[in-house]
Homo-oligomer: A and B are copies of this chain.
Amino acid sequence: MHCFNVELGERSYPIVIGSKLLADSQYLLPYLRGRQICVVTNETVAPLYLSRLLDGLSDFDKVDVVELPDGEAFKTLDTVNRIFDALLEQRHNRTTTLIALGGGVVGDMCGFAAACYQRGVDFIQVPTTLLAQVDSSVGGKTGVNHPLGKNMIGAFYQPRLVLADMDTLTTLPDREFSAGIAEVIKYGLICDAPFFHWIETNIDALLSRDPKALAYAVDRCCRDKAEVVASDEREAGRRAILNFGHTFGHAIETVQGYGRWLHGEAVAAGMVMALELSHLLGDVDGELVQRVRQLLQKAQLPQQSPADMSVDDFLQAMQLDKKVLDGKLRLVLLRSLGDAKVVDDTPQEKVIDALRNCGAR
C-alpha cells in the first residue's frame, strides 16, 4: 500500500493507493466526520463496486446513493442538480460527506456538488478508472461542461481523502484503460523524465494490467501531480503544465460532442499536436515525438486529429479555452523531455502546421 499527503495547508489530504481498499472501511472511517453519507456513482460502476463500499458503512445514520447515467455527455449542471435534489429530499445537512465512486466524470460532478451544497460539505474521492486515479481525483478541480466549452463551470474544492483501489481496474474496458495510459505518459513528458523511461521499459506490464506495475505508476503520477498542485493550487502559473495536450484535446471533445472521444483519447492526440508544435519551434527533436507516438500506438491510442475536423475547427474551439487570456492562445509546450513550459505567443502559422502534421484538414 502506498500513502502520502497532498500538502495544501489546512486543506491537505492523503492519497491511499493499493488493493482491497474498498471493502475495508478502516481507510474511510477516519475521514467521515458526520453521521450522514451520500455515495455518488453511476449505472456502470454501481453493480460492480457499490455493495463492497456500502458494506463497511452500515453503522451510519443515513447512507444514500445517487446513481447517475454514465458518460461525459452527462457531465452537466442538470445532472449535478439531481445530486442536490437527492441530498435535499433525504435531508442531508452540513455534516454530510459525499463519496464519489467512479471515474473522472463522477468525481468532477460529485466534487462540484460538495463544493456548492449548503456552500460546502466534505467529500471523498474513490476513483475506479485509471484516468481518475492518476489525474482527475487529485488536485481539487471539480465542475461540469457547458455546450460551449469543457469544464467551464466549477470550483477548486479539495477532497478529504483519495482512495485508489487497484482492484477496480480489473473490470475497466480496454478503451478506458488506454485513455488512462495517455495521462500516465503525460506526467513523464511534462515533469518526470526518469518516469518516462520507466514507462517505455514497462509499457507491456502496464498494458497487461500487472497490479504491481499499475500501483507504482499510479503512485508516481499522483506524487508528481501533488507536487505541482501544492506549488500552485488555483493555477496562477505552474499548475497549467498539467494541461499539456489538453487545449488541443478539449477542442476535439468540444467539436466532436462530449463522449464520442474519451477524454484520455483526446489528450493523447492533443499531446502529439503539442509535441509536433514543440518540435516545429525547435525545442524537442523529432525522435522524442516518434517515441511518444510509439507508446501511444502500443496503447491503441489516437495520434491524429479526428478525420472530420479542420484546422479552423481547432482554432475556433481553442479560442474559448480557459487558458486563453485577452485573446492570446496559451499553450503548454515542452522545452525538453520532462520539462514543460507555458507559452503565450506561439505564432499561429506554427500551430496550423502542427495541426496539419496531425491530420487536421
A residues at B contact (CB < 8 Å): 34-36, 61, 77, 81, 84-85, 88-89, 91, 93-95, 115-120, 141, 143, 146, 148-149, 151-156, 234, 319-320, 322, 324-326
Find A322's partner among B77, B93, B155, B325 (CB 8 Å cutoff). B93
Instruction: Output the nearest chain B residue to A319 by Cβ-Cβ distance.
Output: B91
Q: Indicate if the CB atoms of B319 and A116 lie closer than 8 Å.
A: no
Known: A77-B77, A88-B320, A146-B84. A153 touches B116 (CB 8 A): yes
Q: Indicate if the CB atoms of A116 and B325 lie closer than 8 Å.
A: no
Find A155's partner among B146, B152, B155 (CB 8 Å cutoff). B155
Query: Assuming A85-B146, A85-B148, A119-B141, what are 9 further A-B pairs, CB within 8 angstroms?
Result: A35-B326, A77-B81, A84-B152, A88-B149, A89-B148, A116-B116, A119-B155, A120-B155, A120-B156
Known: A319-B91, A324-B93. A119 touches B148 (CB 8 A): no
Chain B residues closer than 8 Å to A153, beta-carbon distance: 84, 116-117
Q: Indicate if the CB atoms of A118 and B152 lie closer than 8 Å.
A: yes
Chain B residues closer than 8 Å to A120, beta-carbon distance: 155-156, 234
The smallest beta-carbon distance between A332 and chain B, in angstroms, is 16
Instruction: Output the nearest chain B residue to A88 by Cβ-Cβ distance.
Output: B148
Q: Indicate if the CB atoms of A91 and B154 lie closer than 8 Å.
A: no
Known: A320-B88, A320-B91, A324-B93. A115 touches B152 (CB 8 A): no
Chain B residues closer than 8 Å to A325, beta-carbon distance: 93-95
Instruction: Output the nearest chain B residue to A87 by Cβ-Cβ distance.
Output: B152
Chain B residues closer than 8 Å to A84, beta-carbon distance: 146, 152-153
> CA of A120 to CA of B91 in the docked complex: distance in angstroms?
29
> CA of A285 to CA of B155 in the docked complex: distance in angstroms?
47
Q: Indicate if the CB atoms of A88 and B155 lie closer than 8 Å.
A: no
Instruction: Output the nearest chain B residue to A89 by Cβ-Cβ distance.
Output: B148
List 21 A–B pairs whose Cβ atoms lie within 8 Å, in order of A's numbering.
A36-B326, A61-B326, A77-B77, A77-B81, A84-B146, A84-B152, A88-B149, A88-B320, A91-B320, A93-B325, A93-B326, A115-B155, A116-B153, A116-B155, A117-B153, A118-B154, A119-B151, A119-B154, A119-B155, A119-B156, A120-B155
> CA of A359 to CA of B215 in the docked complex: distance in angstroms?
65
Chain B residues closer than 8 Å to A320, beta-carbon distance: 88, 91
> CA of A324 to CA of B324 in the docked complex: distance in angstroms?
43
Chain B residues closer than 8 Å to A81, beta-carbon distance: 77
Instruction: Output the nearest chain B residue to A61 by Cβ-Cβ distance.
Output: B326
> CA of A88 to CA of B77 in the docked complex: distance in angstroms?
15
Q: Indicate if the CB atoms of A154 and B116 lie closer than 8 Å.
A: yes
> CA of A94 to CA of B35 in the docked complex: distance in angstroms?
38
Q: Indicate if the CB atoms of A152 and B88 lie closer than 8 Å.
A: yes
Chain B residues closer than 8 Å to A34, beta-carbon distance: 326
> CA of A120 to CA of B157 in the docked complex: distance in angstroms?
11
Chain B residues closer than 8 Å to A143, beta-carbon distance: 116, 119
The smallest beta-carbon distance between A161 and chain B, in angstroms, is 20
> CA of A326 to CA of B154 in the docked complex: distance in angstroms?
28
> CA of A88 to CA of B146 in the docked complex: distance in angstroms?
9
> CA of A149 to CA of B81 in the docked complex: distance in angstroms?
13
Chain B residues closer than 8 Å to A324, beta-carbon distance: 93
The smallest beta-carbon distance between A92 and chain B, in angstroms, is 10
> CA of A321 to CA of B38 in the docked complex: distance in angstroms?
18
The smallest beta-carbon distance between A109 and chain B, in angstroms, is 13
The smallest beta-carbon distance between A112 and chain B, in angstroms, is 8
